[in-house]
Amino acid sequence: MTAALLVLLVAGLLVAWVLFWRQWQQDEEPPSIEHDERISPLLRGINYLLTDEPDRALQEMVQVAKLRSEAADVYMALGEMFRSHGEIGRAVRIHQNILARPDVSSELYLQAHFALAKDFQAGGLLDRALRHYQKVLDVRSDHLDALTASLRIREQSSEWLKAEELLSRIERLQGDEDGLHRAHLWGALAEDAMQSGADGVAHEYINNALNLAKNCGYAHILLVRLLLEEADPEKIQNALLMMQRQAPDDVHLLMPMLLQSDISIDGLMHYCQEKNDHELALAWMEELAKGDVSAAITLREKLGFVPSGLRESLRLAAMGMNSDACFVEEAKKWRLSMKHYGCRKCGVQIVDMRWQCPQCHQWGSMSAMTEDDN
């Protein structure tokens, strides 16, 4: 059963318990016909959830709400079902109607605003979602779910300073610091500064990032990129050495910018051989092969590179090495769609490198896949 269906099941069971409890509180006489009419569709709805029939479950919950129009808990559960079913507009109307009630309790006010924020976020109306998350935080400043959701929206909107402020609040609540997450936010700020020509500010932000997490590959790459623009060979070499020590898994991402510059990268040859870094070797050869396959072949010979499995062999074939023309074309098609990076936290696989996982939104969790990941 999916997570969404599990949420719906829990909501349905909660409503059923509330209805039964209220009837028991009223008296111990046999339930009235009206009560039977209320419970029957609810039980059918729960049964449909258990048998993975969300459409039919939703129809029964609508019937429950009609029969029990005064019960806010029924409407809250129904709103959750509408949202999970993709009917955002109906979910919004239900939660807005709850807030419009003159007798709404403070707890229900909080729940309805949070539900409304989730409705708008699911519908892509991020500004409205933020307004309702803020209403929740105005009442309960330690509402962790509202803070986390707001953080995700700020990151999605590239509002990095506001995201950093929210992350600080979350860390204080949890009593734990996430230096790598914060370092990536400062890295994003640095990249924005570089794009606007504020190199001095970018340097400051990069230093902030590396002070927080020395293994932040994103910040190391931005530093090398900035130094390449400033054309300072000594500082570039120092930055390369620092990255090799502190963020070795991301060194291969430097190859496109390094090969387009005039900087000497002889030191990378020794590093690649010493560490037996297959990802760096392949990235280096792939970049060379874009302009001259013979140069990639020469590099392979210098490195003494031997593929460790099918994945690496196919990448070599896609460069045009040691294969017939027909196989090369097929290998090239495969290379374009190959899932090259995977998340260490949730396991999602993607084609191009991202510093934040597109599924679980963890920062710094993506890494190049190897033969063991297939």
Residue spans of the domains in the chain: they are 3-173, 178-193+200-248, 265-336, 339-374
Q: Looking at residues 17-39, what average pLDDT do you find?
A: 46
Taking CA atoms, 269 is separated from 285, 296, 299, 362, in Å, by: 12, 13, 9, 32
pLDDT class for 25, splitting at 50, 70, 90?
Answer: very low
Q: Looking at residues 184-199, what average pLDDT do you find?
A: 95
pLDDT class for 352, splitting at 50, 70, 90?
Answer: confident
Radius of gyration for the chain, computed over Cα atoms and rounded to the nearest angstrom: 28
Q: Looking at residues 183-208, what average pLDDT do you find?
A: 95
Superfamily of segment(s) 3-173: Tetratricopeptide repeat domain (1.25.40.10)
For 118-127, which contacts have Cβ atoms below 8 Å and span 24 or more sequence positions?
118/83, 118/149, 119/79, 119/83, 119/88, 119/91, 119/92, 119/95, 120/88, 120/92, 121/149, 121/153, 122/83, 122/88, 123/88, 123/89, 123/92, 126/153, 126/156, 126/157
Lowest mean pLDDT among 73-77, 171-175, 205-209: 73-77
Other C-beta atoms lying within 10 Å of the C-beta of residue 304: 9
Mean confidence (pLDDT) of the chain: 81
Taking CA atoms, 142 is separated from 34, 108, 290, in Å, by: 42, 17, 53
DSSP annotation of 356 reads: B
Q: Look at residue 27 in the predicted model and tell me its pLDDT.
A: 45
The tokens describing 362, both together, are 């963890």
**Tell me: the pLDDT tens digits for 234-247?**
999 999 999 999 99
- Percent of the chain predicted with pLDDT > 70: 75
The tokens describing 288, both together, are 């060379």
Q: Looking at residues 116-125, what average pLDDT do you find?
A: 93
Q: Look at residue 264 in the predicted model and tell me its pLDDT.
A: 83
> How far is the C-alpha of 124 from the C-alpha of 118, rounded, in Å?
10
